[in-house]
Amino acid sequence: MAALIRRSLRLPYVAVHLPNGRGPVESGTPAAHVEVFPLGSVGGELRIARRAGAEEFTAAERELLADAARHIGLAARAEALADDLQAARERLIRAREQERLRIRRDLHDGLGPVLAAVTLQLDVLGSHLVGSDVEGRLLAEKTKGQVRTALNDVRRLIDGLRPPALDETGLRSALTEQASALLDPSVVCTIDCPETVSVAGPAAEVAAYRIAVEALANAARHAGARKVTVAVRVNDDDLVVTVTDDGRGFDQERQDGIGLSSMRERAAELGGHCEVTSRRGHGVTVCASVPREDG
């Protein structure tokens, strides 16, 4: 909008100062003297320098600039609301992953062992029943079967809450296992991942794992690659996962499939981004960056 106003009215300088110290967004060469048009109830200002030699804006120009300022204010308000919504979404997803991790540990360390112990106790109970107590032995076996069913249900819940390999072996081993399962044995796969990825937080770790696995699956299905590399890095602000292959590649103009869209969505829902670059005959590179959790 700043550039459009400057070009349309042939002005030397236009700047938009947004609320809460955002901006300024400038177009042209800053000038010492500017006229100010408020952006409306949202706050902020549209600052404009007059053309050289022109003393005042015409009434029509002032009306146009005042109307443009109101529209910029509405756009700024919409953008601020979108940012607030995205921030709330990120907090919700991170809190969800934290809670899933807590519930998984509680089920794994608490209810699971209790049900396993009950099964063993029912075995002992059955062995102590006298031979003639057929009904008692049948009841013990039936109860043991019900407990085993409950234990299997608990294990399915545990695995559904969070990829179990992340807690059992860590991200590097989990990715190595997935690469072995997905890729042909003839494909050379290198996993370059530190041991301390968990410091990025459970939500970022799960997102990195899901994105990397989807990229590996795409390479296995479509690439025809001889080499695949998975690299994971944790810096001060982000967790970055990069998957590259030397396969057949594809034209960037084509529409994204479900796999590529899901990778972008997983990164975006945490405030990150995922870029997929390729050229036919030159492989594919997937690079996703997800912000670390505060604290």
| Angstrom distance (rounded) from CA 66 to CA 74 | 13
Whether pLDDT at 252 is above 90:
no
Q: What CATH number was assigned to the domain covering residues 2-86?
A: 3.30.450.40
Arithmetic mean of pLDDT over the chain: 82
pLDDT interval class at 241 (50, 70, 90): very high
CB-CB contact of 223 with 247 (8 Å): yes
- Map 176-195 to HEC letters: HHHHHHHCCCCCEEEEECCC
* Side chain identity, residue 136: G
Between 107 and 208, whose confidence is greater?
208
Positive or negative CA dihedral for 90, 93, 99, 105?
negative
Closest CA to 230 of 215, 217, 249: 215
In a 3-state reduction of DSSP, which class is residue 58? coil
Whether pLDDT at 7 is above 60:
yes
The phi-psi region of residue 192 (left if phi > 0; otherwise alpha if psi is between -120 and 50; otherwise beta) is beta
Cα three-residue angle 88-94-96, rounded to 5 degrees: 100
Structure confidence by residue, pLDDT tens digits, 12-42: 899 988 877 676 888 888 877 888 888 887 7
**For residue 295, what pLDDT is reported?**
43
Q: Which residues have a Cβ under 8 Å from the Cβ of 90 and sit 6 or more positions away?
A: 269, 270, 271, 291
**For residue 198, what pLDDT is reported?**
66
| Angstrom distance (rounded) from CA 116 to CA 59 | 83
Which architecture does CATH list for 170-291?
2-Layer Sandwich (3.30)
